[in-house]
């Protein structure tokens, strides 16, 4: 792959990741706002910082992990490179670089979406309006996905777009599931209670998975059912297993249909990840859900690093998932 093509491939890969990351961050904020409507609300907002390993970065700018401060940090704070505003700004910047390769509609929608976001004031993200803000972000990101699906030319660039989107989606699904662990880990007597079930219900809805879940489980809802569905069900497009399968197909396509060399180490990492996913929810719970999700995130990160090195021209980086 030429250096020029590597640069474009990298921009496509990360444009997809930034948009997916912004959408899923909105989902995590939305579900946390739902969970925070209890006596543990203050603890819930700090848990997002722990979920994304952002505690030091947050406290460099803010003195207290209040709801208002954490929401500001992850939505419109342009000093935070992980905020929704920053992610969509970077996606727009990549789209500008890619204008010769992407459709006019893709560029126009991202440009308008980002400028609309920049124009919002603090009152638009205040906690009573957070759900509306998150809906706006999800709608804008899904519009980008739909326009891309309908207009992006199907060549190597499409494969790199799908690689970025699916890797990010798998990672964010584990974080969304982990947010339940951090936010509402109940006392033993709360397990299976109506409150506990309603929170799992909210988690499923935040992942747009409630109706799909009900096709598999028409009645009842247990934590194991929900976690197993979001991790392993191949028919649910946001499950980790479905995303990993899509990554495998795109890597194979890049090698076979487009004769792009490399990806040997990435395919090895993918096999490791598939082995980790080759279990059932009972085995995951016995291992520890939080610990298992953390392990999956490490493997996804290692796979992303190998793709960056083998296919996108990144410098070698040591990985911890072995």
pLDDT in tens, the chain (322 residues): 545 488 999 999 999 999 999 999 999 898 888 777 655 555 578 888 988 889 999 999 999 999 999 999 999 999 999 999 999 999 999 999 999 999 999 999 999 999 999 999 999 998 789 999 999 999 999 999 999 999 999 999 999 999 999 999 999 999 989 876 655 445 555 556 666 777 788 889 888 899 999 999 999 888 889 999 999 999 999 999 999 999 999 999 998 888 887 788 899 999 999 999 999 999 998 999 989 999 999 999 999 999 999 899 887 765 554 4
Q: What is d(CA 247, CA 171) in angstroms, rounded to the nearest whole number?
A: 12
With beta carbons less than 8 A apart as the criterion, state whether 68 and 126 touch: yes
What is the Cα 37 distance to its own chain's centre? 24
- What does the pLDDT read at residue 181? 60
With beta carbons less than 8 A apart as the criterion, state whether 103 and 115 touch: no
Residue 128: Cβ within 10 Å count: 8
Q: What is the crossing angle of helices 223-232 and 240-256, to 10°? A: 10
- For the chain, the maximum distance between any two Cα atoms, rounded to a whole number of angstroms, is 60
Residue 313: Cβ within 10 Å count: 16
- What does the pLDDT read at residue 199? 76
Exposure on the CB side of residue 232, measured as CA atoms within 13 A: 18
Q: What is d(CA 98, CA 289) in angstroms, rounded to the nearest whole number?
A: 40
Angle subtended at Cα 176 by Cα 126 and Cα 93, rounded to the nearest 5 degrees? 70
Token couple for 225: 């059912």
What is the Cα 124 distance to its own chain's centre? 23
Q: What is the DSSP letter of 316?
A: P
Q: What is d(CA 28, CA 23) in angstroms, rounded to the nearest whole number?
A: 9
Residue 148 buriedness (CB in 10 A; 0-12 / 13-18 / 19+):
buried
With beta carbons less than 8 A apart as the criterion, state whether 236 and 212 touch: yes
Cα distances (angstroms) measured from residue 103 to each of 109, 153, 159: 10, 8, 16
Cα distances (angstroms) measured from residue 157 to each of 6, 7, 265: 10, 11, 21
Q: What is d(CA 168, CA 18) in angstroms, rounded to the nearest whole number?
A: 8
With beta carbons less than 8 A apart as the criterion, state whether 312 and 304 touch: no
Q: What is the DSSP string of 10-58?
A: HHHHHHHHHHHHHHHHHHHHHHHHHHTSSTTHHHHHHHHHHHTT-HHHH
Can you say whether the dihedral through the CA atoms of 10, 15, 16, 20 is positive or negative?
positive
Put simply, whether the predicted model's pTM sits higher than 0.85 gets the answer: yes
Token couple for 252: 């194979």
């Amino acid at each position: 792959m030429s250096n020029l093509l590597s640069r474009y491939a990298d921009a496509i890969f990360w444009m997809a990741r930034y948009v997916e990351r912004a959408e899923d961050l909105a989902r995590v904020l939305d579900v946390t706002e739902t969970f925070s409507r209890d006596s543990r609300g203050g603890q819930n907002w700090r848990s997002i910082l722990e979920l994304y390993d952002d505690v030091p970065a947050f406290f460099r700018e803010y003195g207290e992990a209040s709801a208002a401060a954490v929401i500001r940090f992850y939505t419109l704070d342009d000093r935070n490179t992980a905020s929704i505003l920053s992610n969509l700004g970077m996606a727009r910047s990549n789209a500008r670089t890619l204008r010769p390769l992407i459709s006019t509609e893709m560029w126009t929608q991202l440009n308008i979406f980002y400028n609309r976001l920049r124009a919002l004031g603090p009152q638009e993200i205040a906690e009573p309006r957070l759900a509306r803000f998150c809906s706006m972000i999800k709608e804008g990101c899904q519009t980008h996905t739909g326009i891309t699906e309908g207009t992006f030319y199907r060549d190597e660039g499409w494969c790199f777009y799908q690689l970025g989107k699916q890797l990010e989606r798998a990672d964010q699904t584990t974080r969304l599931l982990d947010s339940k662990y951090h936010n509402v880990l109940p006392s033993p007597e709360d397990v299976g209670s109506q409150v506990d079930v309603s929170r799992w219900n909210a988690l499923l809805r935040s992942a747009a998975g409630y109706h799909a879940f009900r096709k598999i489980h028409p009645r009842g809802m247990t934590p194991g059912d929900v976690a197993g569905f979001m991790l392993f069900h191949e028919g649910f497009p946001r499950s980790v297993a479905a995303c990993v399968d899509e990554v495998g197909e795109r890597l194979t396509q890049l090698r076979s249909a487009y004769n792009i060399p490399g990806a040997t180490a990435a395919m090895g990492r993918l096999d490791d990840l598939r082995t980790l996913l080759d279990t059932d929810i009972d085995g995951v719970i016995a291992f520890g859900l939080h610990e298992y999700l953390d392990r999956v995130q490490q493997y996804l990160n290692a796979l992303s690093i190998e793709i960056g090195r083998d296919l996108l021209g990144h410098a070698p980086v040591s990985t911890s998932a072995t």
